[in-house]
Amino acid sequence: MVDQTPSAGTRGRSAVAPILLAASLLCLIVSTRSLEGVPESLGLSILGFFQRGFSDVGEFVSDTFASISELRRLRENYDELSAKLERYTNMERGLADLREENNRLKEQLGFSQDIAYQRIAARIVAKDPENLYSTITIDKGFGDGIRKNMPVIAFQDGIEGLVGRIVEVGAGTSKIVPIYDSMSFVASRLAGGSRTEGLVGGQGSPEYPLLMRFVKKQAKDEIQFGDLVATTGYESVYPSDVAVGRVKKVRVLDYQTSIDIELDPVLDFSRIEYVFVVKPPVADEGDSR
Amino acid sequence: MIRSVVLSTMLLVACALAQSAWFGGIAVLGVTPDLGLIVLIWLSYMNGLVAGPISGFLSGFAEDFLSASPLGFHAFIKTAVAAAASLLHGSFYIDKLLLPVILGFAGTIAKALAAGALFLLFGSKVHAYSLVERTIWIEAAYNGLLAPLAFLLLGPLRRLLATERRRG
């Protein structure tokens, strides 16, 4: 006689997936209700260590290959540069005189080289492993003075542009949510004559334009293609007047009281390697890890 | 089985780390392939209803730490995809090309559906794919194309990763 009822072992095996799915849902329920973020921070600290290791290995391999071709090119350049060196040595004396004169003129004009805010330089070591989220991971963490919600900027082609803000801090790495993430919102205004304000949000990928919403309809005639949009700094985590994007297209819908503006980010996110995390003024600094 | 689960989970976490650190360079229109998903499908197909989902759950959990997603998001998705793939365990023979392509493509769609289910439950607190946008279709095609190569490379690791010996 054959017993056709499922054995306890079979039932047990079938129950594994539902149990794990339930455990996942439980985690989601807890984490979406804004638990303190401690488990995430702890996990990031541990896995961030390995993530940096992977990044370093990748960099080492690519650097090694690059070095081989670089070596050949350097040999050619060496001869060329030797010839140039003699010429530049003669120019050096003249340059020193010019530099001295330049410093004197700067002093007279009251030129200030003070930096508006303190920054922590960091290297991008990884991005989100999946396409649904758009996290950027940097190689600086809590020990380097990074705190949650600090704004992040970068320089590219001579422009200071907004990258995003810190959302999670680990011991040696931190996660940034970039401005093109669909959960990112930045209070911004047109930097031109109109100074019209709006809220810039992302559409989930650097391939899609940023969207500036809630812009007054009256401002539509003053907006020009290519106008710069910068942060307002009002009650915001972001400092003021940091470039966000340039006007690409204006969407005017009759039934809406405001207009939407599509923006091209000022930064090419695929080329950014280094960023600067902006520290808040000392008086306002609060530990919000 | 414990050894297989541990090794599988380590391999999947390594895939997630590689994806986050290296795969930016092979993105197509900003979309990167999900190597971890392909490996998970292979493992689940090979190992059935227990080892696959456990590895999926643990590696998904690790991925949640690397991502901005809420804790449990990737754990749920990877467990669901692993459970679906493990239902096919031993149903048919995996050839070298066609079935891996189908599994890679279908697995990505299953991942999108699992994310969609979470979006229905949790709303804007989680992200979901939009089926009318190109991201999901590029990723599905990319995973489909990558799957035959990944399955081929996983073949020699079968002794380490599979919970059962090949029969017949």
Q: Closest to B72 (Cβ–Cβ): which among A31, A44, A205?
A: A31
Question: Which one has a higher pLDDT value, B144 or A16?
Answer: B144
Judge whether A204 is closer than 8 Å to chain B, CB to CB.
Answer: yes
Q: Tens of pLDDT along A187-220?
A: 999 887 678 889 999 988 888 889 999 888 888 8
Is the model's pLDDT at B7 over the cut of 90?
A: yes
Question: Which one has a higher pLDDT value, A9 or B58?
Answer: B58
CB-CB under 8 Å, A51 with B17: yes
Q: How far apart are CA A240 and CA A198, in angstroms?
A: 14
Task: Give the model's confidence band at A286: pLDDT under 50 very low, under 70 low, under 90 confident, else very high.
Answer: very low
Q: Tens of pLDDT along A83-115?
A: 788 777 767 767 777 877 777 666 555 544 445
CB-CB under 8 Å, A50 with B86: no
Domain boundaries, chain A: 185-265
CB-CB under 8 Å, B74 with A131: no
CB-CB under 8 Å, B74 with A43: no
**If contacts are CB pairs under 8 Å, which of residues 18-47 in chain B contact chain A?**
18-24, 29-32, 34, 36
- Identify the pLDDT of residue B110: 96
Judge whether A263 is closer than 8 Å to chain B, CB to CB.
Answer: no
Mean pLDDT of A45-55: 82
DSSP designation for A254 = T
- Identify the pLDDT of residue B164: 65
Is the model's pLDDT at B107 over the cut of 90?
A: yes
The token pair that represents A22 in the structure block? 């339930």
Task: Give the model's confidence band at A2: pLDDT under 50 very low, under 70 low, under 90 confident, else very high.
Answer: very low
Question: Which one has a higher pLDDT value, A217 or A116?
Answer: A217
Contacts of B60 in chain A (CB under 8 A): 24
Q: Tens of pLDDT along A64-83?
A: 888 888 888 888 888 888 87
Task: Give the model's confidence band at A33: pLDDT under 50 very low, under 70 low, under 90 confident, else very high.
Answer: low
Residue in A51, A132, A135, A166 to test binding to B, most B beta-carbons within 10 Å? A132
Q: Closest to A47 (Cβ–Cβ): which among B48, B62, B135?
A: B62
Mean pLDDT of A133-138: 92
Distance from CA of B136 to the nearest CA of A (A): 9
% of chain A beyond a pLDDT of 90? 26
Chain B: residue whose CA lies nearest to A178: B68
Is the model's pLDDT at B8 over the cut of 80?
A: yes
A236-270 in b/e form (b: 16+ CB < 10 A) is: ebbbeebbbbbbeebeeeeeeebbbbbbebbbebe
The token pair that represents A216 in the structure block? 């007054």
Residue that is written with structure tokens 């985590």 in the block: A237
Judge whether A185 is closer than 8 Å to chain B, CB to CB.
Answer: no
Domain A185-265 annotated CATH 2.40.10.350: yes
Q: How far apart are CA A273 and CA A123, in angstroms?
A: 6
DSSP designation for A34 = T
Q: Tens of pLDDT along B122-154?
A: 888 889 998 888 899 999 999 999 999 999 999
Q: How far apart are CA A246 and CA A159, in angstroms?
A: 12
CB-CB under 8 Å, A205 with B20: no
Chain A: residue whose CA lies nearest to B16: A129
**Chain-wide mean pLDDT for chain A?**
82
Chain A: residue whose CA lies nearest to B69: A133
Of B71, B70, B39, residue with least CA distance to B56: B39
CB-CB under 8 Å, A207 with B29: yes
Residue in B20, B119, B129 to test binding to A, most A beta-carbons within 10 Å? B20
Judge whether A171 is closer than 8 Å to chain B, CB to CB.
Answer: no
Domains of chain B (ranges; CATH) run 2-161 (1.10.1760)
ipTM confidence score: 0.85
Q: Tens of pLDDT along B17-32?
A: 999 999 988 989 889 9
Question: Which one has a higher pLDDT value, A175 or B162?
Answer: A175
CB-CB under 8 Å, B24 with A270: yes
Q: Is A172 helix (H, G, I), strand (E, B) or coil?
A: coil
Judge whether B86 is closer than 8 Å to chain A, CB to CB.
Answer: yes
Task: Give the model's confidence band at A281: pLDDT under 50 very low, under 70 low, under 90 confident, else very high.
Answer: confident
Contacts of A270 in chain B (CB under 8 A): 24, 30
pTM score over 0.90: no
CB-CB under 8 Å, B56 with A132: no
Q: How far apart are CA A146 and CA A144, in angstroms?
A: 6
- Identify the pLDDT of residue B32: 92
Distance from CA of B154 to the nearest CA of A (A): 20
Is the model's pLDDT at A233 over the cut of 60?
A: yes
Q: What CA dihedral angle connects A41, B54, B7 and A174, to 10 degrees?
A: -10
Of B119, B165, B160, residue with least CA distance to B6: B160
Handedness of CA B79, B84, B89, B94 (dihedral sign): negative
Is the model's pLDDT at A278 over the cut of 70?
A: yes
